[in-house]
Amino acid sequence: MTASHPVNVAPATGSGPAPSPAPHRPDAAAVTTEPGPQRPAGGPPPREYGLDALRVVAICGVVAIHVFGVIVGQDDLRGNLGWWVATAIDIGAIWTVPAFIMISGAFVLDPRAHRAGPAAFYRKRFTRILPAMIVWHVVYVVVVRMAMRGEEMSLTLLTRLLIDGKVFTALYFLWLIAGLYVLAPVLAPFLHAGGRHRALITAGVALGWTMVAYMIPGIALILGDSRPNILTSWNRWWPYVGFFIAGWALRRVVLNRLWTALALLGAGLLLAEAIWQFGVAPQHRLLQATFPVMATGTLVAAATLLIFMASVSIGSRVTWRPGVGRLVTRLSDASFGVFLIHLLVFEVFRQLIPDVEAGRSLEVIGLTYPAVLVISFAVSMLASRIPYVRAVF
Question: What are the E-state strand segments in the chain?
Answer: 31-33, 253-255
Q: What is the pTM of this model?
A: 0.88
Q: What is the pLDDT of residue 393?
A: 95
Q: Beta-carbon neighbour count of residue 339 at 10 Å? A: 29
CB 63 within 8 A of CB 338: yes
Q: Reduced to 3 states, what is the DSSP secondary structure of residue 211?
A: helix
Give the per-residue pLDDT at 25.
Answer: 42
Chain centre distance of CA 59: 7
- pLDDT tens readout for residues 79-125: 999 999 999 999 999 999 999 999 999 999 999 999 999 999 999 99
**Residue stretches of the chain with pLDDT short of 50:** 1-28, 38-43
Amino acid code (one letter) for 43: G
**First-last CA distance in the chain:** 22
* DSSP structural state of residue 46: P
Quick one: pLDDT at residue 85?
Answer: 97
As a whole number of angstroms, the distance between CA 284 and CA 237 comes to 30
pLDDT of residue 16: 38
C-alpha closest to that of 180 among 235, 142, 249, 131: 235
Domain boundaries, the chain: 47-392
* Alpha-carbon gap, residue 391 to 381, rounded angstroms: 12
Say what the pLDDT of residue 36 is: 52
The pLDDT score that the predictor gives to residue 17 is 37
Tens of pLDDT, residue by residue over 42-82, are 445 567 899 999 999 999 999 999 999 999 999 999 999 99
Query: Are 140 and 171 a contacting pair, CB within 8 Å?
Result: yes
Q: Are 314 and 50 within 8 A, CB to CB?
A: yes
Closest C-alpha among 215, 279, 268 to residue 81:
279
Q: What is the pLDDT of residue 155?
A: 95
Which residues, 6 or more positions from 254, have their beta carbon under 8 angstroms from its beta carbon?
25, 31, 32, 33, 34, 312, 313, 316
Q: Are strands 253-255 and 31-33 parallel, antiparallel or unpaired?
A: antiparallel
